[in-house]
Structure 1
Amino acid sequence: MLEVISYRHGVLLLPEMQGAAQWNVRFWAVDRPENGVLRCSIMRSTRERRFKARQNMMASVREGFKRFSMIVAGLAFATLAVGNASQAVAKAKSNSAQPNKSASPTAQREQAEYVILIVFEGVGQEALRTGAMPVLSGLVKEGSVTWSATAVTPPLRLPTMASLLTGMPVEKHGVTWDSFDFIRGYPRPPTVFDYLDLSGGRDSAIFFMDESLYQLAKPEPYTDYQMCGPLKPECSPATVVQYIRDYFRKATSGHGYGHAILSLPHFLVVHLPEPGRAGLANGWGSRAYRDALRTVDRAVGSILDLYRELGILKQTTVIVTALSGAASPASSNGAAKPGADGAGVPHVPWIAWGAGIKAGHAIKQPVSILDTGATVLRTLGLDTYTEWESHAVEEIFNAPRPADMGAGSKGP
């Protein structure tokens, strides 16, 4: 038993603990400390024993450091040897390899950051034979093209545009009428604009030239719509081009002007139906029809000039298609010319040109206007995992589809 000098707040002080630096006290039981009695075990630890322990520890450290230094030296020598061997192999390969000088400038084009979708009416391959569309002829020559892409039935403006934007046939998106009907509301299926925002936060600007397409102008924070139709006497392709110029000027100003998009849109849709209207009203061989072809061709050229002025044309892909060909105008009064399957499905042009697109390529695989939406996403390096029936036309691209992009492509 040892006498406790004091016991306050758990602190014990014993007579033998004078010079506490020399003692290590292990308390294993306390018996009635109020009586001044404490049972404990005391182990004496002198400064000499501490010094010896410190010496042993330092010796162990020195031995470990010596072994570590030897290991590091061995690894450094091995790394140097491997590096010299790798340099020798690389030098040998460079001496024997032949430089690849055949890479075409087209193959080196970067991936598109912007897409323009031009949607004609009443334009087919025969329109180029008139000589009235030099801009479109240039896109055909320098891009990828098919003149037998399938549209939809019924061959009407509103149902066909709905299929183009939703990637669904008419029986699935349900838009079977051909005039704006406020009571029916907007189509329920998502559109390519929704997928662009969902997959990559891309914005869209849409310029329609018929009031019936109000049915598809569902307001979203990532879309801006402008309408210019027959109800406005001043409406023309030139007017639409001016709208686009004004819109781009405001989008790049930094002020917004009340638009949903405060920068250049990644996806621009331009509807140009004048040839179809002129052909239906005056005949497909009339002067009015040829003038309409020239007018929309100049409009396309002006849009390309705008992108060139902004310095983004080299990062842009242009897709051109039509809601109807010259022999099957997209109008409620027009009859569809039988397609290759004899089922009355119109055939329309489908052209791709610009960044990442093969030049001078004739598309061999079947193409539908339903494939336009997925091809737009593929062009921008995006992908979706949806139930729509739109598939990217892989054949038109210079570079193969990245491995990390999901399914949903249409290719050979």
Structure 2
Amino acid sequence: MPVKHVLLCSLDGVRPDAIQATATPNIDRLVAEGACTWQARTVMPSSTLTCHTSMLRGVDTPRHGITTNTFHPLVRPVPSLLEVAHRNGLATGFCYNWEPLRDVADPDSLNLAFLYKHPNYQLNKEGSYMRSEPEQMRFLCSLLDSLDLNLLFLYLGGTDAVGHAYGWMSPEYLESITHADRCLGQVLDKIATRWDPAETCTLVLSDHGGHEKTHGTDMPEDMTIPWILHGANVRRGHQITGPVRIYDTCVTLAHILGLPASDQWEGRVIEEALLP
């Protein structure tokens, strides 16, 4: 049976081994109660806009052609998960704090969209993310009191900003992941009061990893990402052994929501994560 609600949460630049190296009680619960892999793969180049385009459009980089963090219209358009959901009558939301991500969502594909940035963003990007993300979550939670969304995309960029400032796997980076986990927990607590757990799925993943103070290469540290699925019709406490690519996200969530898959999508449904 299709579910009614999906939360898709992207934590920018979060390596799987970093989650395992720091305190993340909310993510840990999703892992224990759901299906996950610590060996999912992103796309090349492993940069934020490239990876999110693949995540939400279900295709590899050569198909969509976005190879930098500057968006350009696709020569051969590919429908996004958000567009397909909206076209089929579902209410969609897009909450983010890195402005270039706005182009990942097609025009007229969202019921809710908001960008939240701290006033001092240009002066201290990583510090601004840390201060503003809890505020962003509180605002989102207040909106969820009055909006009944079927598909909510949530993006937190602070982890990536801290990685660039202090280095991936630095103490500051690991603390930023604990911070992101707390922010995720705010939203999980809210949707638990608004959405029926028997009709809800959550998918938490990252767009890419990182090494030293950068990313974008084909190094395992950059290419390996967590992929954690939790909720209705999901296997419980299961470690996914088969391959998972970031562009499988779009196809899997469309399947979970009972949406028709585009014949242009290249990903596949991760059946191993789902109950038969």
**Bin for the TM-score computed over the shorter chain:** 0.7 to 0.9
Structure 1 residues 277, 115: CA separation in 2 closer, same or farther (over 3 Å shift)?
A: same
Flag structure 1 segments of 5+ consecutive residues without an equivalent.
1-109, 252-263, 400-412
Q: Name the structure 2 match of 1:241.
A: 137
Output one character per residue of 1:193-247: Cα deviation in whole Å (capped at 9) or x when no partner.
122234x421210112201112223321544221124776465321221231232
Corresponding residue of 1:58: none
Please give the residue correspondences for 1:118-137 in structure 2 after superposition, counting only pairs within 5 Å: 118-137=9-28
Partner-residue secondary structure (3-state), 2:113: strand
Q: Mapping of 1:247-326 within 5 angstroms?
A: 247-251=143-147, 264-326=148-210
Is 1:336–2:220 an aligned residue pair? no
Pair 383,326 (structure 1): closer, same or farther in 2 beyond 3 Å: same
Verify: 1:192 aligned to 2:76, yes or no: no
Q: 2:57: which partner in 1?
A: 166
Aligned match of 1:380: 257
What is the rounded CA distance, in whole Å, between the counterparts of 1:153 and 1:229 in structure 2? Answer: 28
Task: Return the letter of the residue paired with 2:85.
Answer: L
Cα deviation code 1:274-319 (max 9, x no counterpart): 1222122112343321221121101111111101222523321111
Distance 1:214 1:335, change over 3 A: closer
Does the alignment pair 1:226 with 2:114? yes
Further displaced range: 310-319 or 355-364: 310-319
What's 1:31 paired with? none
Which runs of at least 4 in structure 1 moved beyond 6 Å after TM superposition? Answer: none
AA at the equivalent of 2:137: V
Distance 1:359 1:270 in 2: 23
C-alpha distance 334-397 of structure 1, shift in aligned 2 (>3 A): closer
State how far apart, in whole Å, the 2-side matches of 1:281 and 1:225 are: 28
TM-score norm. by structure 1 comes to 0.60
Change in 2 beyond 3 A, CA 1:294/1:193: same
SS of alignment partner, residue 146 of structure 2: helix
Q: How does 1:21-100 map to 2 (within 5 A)?
A: none
> Are the counterparts in 2 of residues 324 and 348 from structure 1 also a CA contact under 8 Å?
yes
Question: Secondary structure at 2:51's aligned position in 1?
Answer: helix
> Which stretches in structure 2 are left out of the alignment for 5+ residues?
122-127
CA, structure 1 residues 232+265, in 2 after alignment: closer, same or farther (shift >3 Å)?
farther
CA contact (8 A) 2:33 2:237 kept: yes
- 2:209 and 2:215 in contact (8 A); partners too: no
Larger RCO of the pair (alpha carbons < 8 Å, separation 6+): 2
Contact 1:132 1:294 in 2 (8 A): yes
Question: RMSD across aligned C-alpha pairs, in angstroms?
Answer: 2.4
Aligned to 1:361: 238
The equivalent residue for 1:56 is: none
Aligned residue pairs, count: 267
CA distance in 2 between counterparts of 1:380 and 1:216 reads 20
Q: Who wins on radius of gyration, i.e. which is larger?
A: 1
Q: CA deviation at 1:359?
A: 0.6
- In structure 2, the CA distance between the partners of 1:270 and 1:222, relative to structure 1 (3 Å rule), is closer
Give the C-alpha shift of residue 328 in structure 1. Answer: 8.0
Tell me by how many angstroms 1:145 deviates.
0.8
Question: 1:87-122 CA distances to partner (integer Å, 9 max, x unpaired)?
Answer: xxxxxxxxxxxxxxxxxxxxxxx7521111110122
